[in-house]
Amino acid sequence: MDKILEFFLLHREAIFIVILSVFLGIEVISHVPAILHTPLMSGANAIHGVVIIGAIIVMGHAEGTAALILGFLAVVLGTLNVVGGFVVTDRMLEMFKKKK
């Protein structure tokens, strides 16, 4: 428990920035018009593809079991995010096709 507290005290500025980024992201996304959601999702899927590549590279350099497990978890969750994003984007694009 002391190591966790020490980590938070040592990196409090970075943690503060991450928390502010989360609130800013929620605020920005909640004000995006519905017409822009499909292009934004496609862009987010491309960015998450790069994140998966980075997670694979970092996992390859892991020096402990915990780091390897966290890296594998990052790759799996990132992949689920990309696949889910493409599924949602495809469903949204289906809404704009003309019905026969």
Q: Tell me which amino acid residue 3 is.
A: K
Under DSSP, the state recorded for 64 is S
Q: How many CB atoms are located within 10 Å of the residue 85 CB?
A: 19
d(CA 42, CA 39): 5
Give me 9's structure tokens.
């005290």
d(CA 62, CA 31): 39
pLDDT digits (tens, 9 = 90+) for 4-53: 889 889 999 999 999 999 999 889 888 877 777 667 777 777 788 888 89
For the entire predicted model, the pTM comes to: 0.56
